[in-house]
Amino acid sequence: MRSGKIISIPFLGLMITLCACYRADISPTPVVTEGQTWGERLGFPRDKRVLILHADDLGMCVEANEAGARYLADDRIQSGAIMMPCPASQAMAEWYRRHPTKDIGIHLTLNSEWETYRWDPVTDTAQVPGLIDPEGFMWRDWRVLRSATPEEVELEIRGQIEKALSLGIKPSHIDTHMGTLLMTAGYAEVYMDIAMEYGLPAMVIEFSEPIVERFRSIGFIIDEEVLKLAANYPLPKLDDYYMISDGESYEDKKQKFYELVQSLQPGITEIIFHPSVESDNLKSITDTWQQRAWEAQLFYDDEVTEFLENEGVLFTTWKDIMTRFRQSNP
């Protein structure tokens, strides 16, 4: 497969906004919940910021694998998730089998967003025709929401989990590439039901009103039915969720990370990023290569390490979250 930049087509504006996630300079929103945060419910001190530094898009390409695996092996970050339909997913599974204690989840994938670097569903395409765009790959954007039924989505995400299990991965959690599984009630219900069936915590947020407004302000489609499903979801949730912002330079990016951490409220927050080793191949895959390369530097930076120590944040993993949850809900 050749590779390239995100293609520009009608409707893709929302998708590009989504891929950017929290790269826009939007001030962090305080966690506003009734009663305890999830951090406190799971036994963390009520005044502490608890972080999961999480590498998305493992398995997408060898550059993502190299950067993410190094971070995880050296305990510089706490968690990562593999895109099972992608070309380098089996290589990442091989790494996991050598490091089975690491916190690795499944980045459930219904989109193939790059211009020419594409992937198919893991399910027989005859069974999931709605997941396939006119070019024969997964949809680049949210048009999948109008094309694929919840039944097709269930087949595919179940297939991705089963593929991971067949490769020897014991996932710590599941989450959703580009947020697609939280965009409609039909998809969200499948996502949360499968999480409960497999006993795998899904990346679901405690959706306070300010958090919902923040998500909607950057293009996420979060309807009232999805919010009801999230409110009734019985497994542990995050108190908040962010993506590392883009920077004009590495130093600017680092400063934005500092500001994000300093503004967080007590509770469990996952901060995601997409570290990748710089290469000509990465540059041909995505026009976000520079940000991804800087993200491959960030947590090996002694200044960042010192900053996190001085901030007094605690760290956790999805494995730890689920262990604490089971202990508190025997």
Radius of gyration of the chain (CA): 18
Residue 34 is predicted with a pLDDT of 56
CA distance linking residue 81 with residue 103, whole number of Å: 8
Token digits for 85? 């339909």
CA distance linking residue 194 with residue 212, whole number of Å: 23
Q: 184 CB contacts (<8 Å, ≥6 apart)?
A: 145, 150, 221, 223, 226
pTM of the entire structure?
0.90
| Residue-level pLDDT, tens digit, the chain, 330 residues | 333 433 333 333 333 333 433 333 333 443 434 579 999 999 999 999 999 999 999 999 999 999 999 999 999 999 999 999 999 999 999 999 999 999 999 999 999 999 999 999 999 999 999 999 999 999 999 899 999 999 999 999 999 999 999 999 999 999 999 999 999 999 999 999 999 999 999 999 999 999 999 988 888 888 899 999 999 999 999 999 999 999 999 999 999 999 999 999 999 999 999 999 999 999 999 999 999 999 999 999 999 999 999 999 999 999 999 999 999 887
Residue 19 is predicted with a pLDDT of 41
Residue 159 identity (one-letter amino acid): G
Residue 207 identity (one-letter amino acid): F
Query: Do residues 85 and 138 touch, judged by C-beta distance below 8 A?
Result: yes
Token digits for 303? 């200044």
Residue 29 is predicted with a pLDDT of 41
Q: How many angstroms separate the first and last alpha carbons of the chain?
A: 49
Q: Does domain 37-328 have CATH number 3.40.50.300?
A: no
Query: Do residues 260 and 245 touch, judged by C-beta distance below 8 A?
Result: yes
Residue 5 is predicted with a pLDDT of 38
Residue 27 is predicted with a pLDDT of 38
DSSP 8-state symbol, 267: E
* DSSP-assigned states of every residue in 289-307: HHHHHHHHHHTT-HHHHHH
Q: How many CB atoms lie within 10 A of CB 288?
A: 19
User: What percent of the chain is helix, strand and coil (3-state, nearest 5)?
Assistant: 45, 15, 40
DSSP 8-state symbol, 174: E
Quick one: which of 79, 84, 83, 89 has its CA closest to 241?
79
